[in-house]
Amino acid sequence: MAVSRDIFPDVSTTHGFQLDRPPASRLPESHAAYEGLVRNTKLHIAVQSLELRRKVDNLPTLNISGLYIPHQRRAYCILPFVAHGYIWGDGTSTITELPPQLRIPLEALSDQLGIKPLGTYASTVLWNC
């Protein structure tokens, strides 16, 4: 059965829900601070010690304009993951809202990609390979 590109424009006939080209393995150098949150970091320690929150609080707001779809998807793999770590932290402190460094680019990316601003199957599995 052929996949109709009219009905499913984002479904590849050879790669399913993946892009026809490999996903981006890292963000452009201009976004290195966000890539650094998940690369070369022991995230379970950073989350529990609240180091992740401190790092996020000191970041500039990620500018997503000019990112191509593979980089948008890479950013969307990072942002919800970091947001969940930011919220849960050490399990004892309460966070009632995400800081703008996470909230603004996450909302903008979710609008551009047409998905909800939270960790999804696409962002944690399909685009994260």
pLDDT tens per residue, range 46-97: 888 888 899 999 999 888 888 888 898 888 888 988 898 898 888 888 788 8
- For 91: left if phi > 0, alpha if psi spans -120 to 50, otherwise beta; the answer is left
The model's pTM = 0.77
Residue 60 DSSP code: P
What would the DSSP string read from start to end of 1-25?
-PPPTTT-TT-BTTTBTS-SSPPPS
Q: d(Cα 59, Cα 57) in Å, to the nearest integer?
A: 6
pLDDT tens per residue, range 38-58: 887 687 788 888 888 999 999
